[in-house]
Amino acid sequence: MELEAMSRYTGPGKPAVFPHLTMVLLATAMHFTTWFFVYEVTSTRHPWDTYKDPLLLVTLFFMGFGVPFQLLWIGIYI
């Protein structure tokens, strides 16, 4: 089997969209990370609050999808 005879694999997504997805997802994640940090620093001592857990989950969601698109954008195909 010759290497030249094989067809090159192309992913299902368009590479032109990777920079936009990266910037939107990571900017949203940084916004929620900053919001969570300010919330933790400025809060007084009070019992456990369920407000911060969904906020942290939203942050992790956007960060989890933003980082792979950043890797694809710079050419590290995962």
Q: What digits encode the pLDDT tens for the residues 8-47?
A: 777 777 888 888 888 998 899 888 888 888 877 887 776 6
Residue 10 lies in a domain: no
- Domain span at residue 68 reads 15-42+50-74
Contacts of 62 (CB under 8 A, 6+ apart): 25, 26, 28, 29, 32
Q: What is the dihedral of CA 41, 46, 50, 55, to 10 degrees?
A: -10
Q: Are 66 and 25 in contact (CB under 8 A)?
A: yes
**Please, how many CA atoms are within 13 Å of residue 45, restricted to the half-sphere of its CB?**
0
Q: Are 59 and 36 in contact (CB under 8 A)?
A: yes
Question: How many domains are there within the chain?
Answer: 1
Residue 24 lies in a domain: yes
Residue 67 lies in a domain: yes
Residue 62 lies in a domain: yes
Residue 3 lies in a domain: no
Is-above-0.85 flag for pTM?
no
Q: Tell me what the mean pLDDT of segment 45-74 comes to.
A: 80
Residue 8 lies in a domain: no
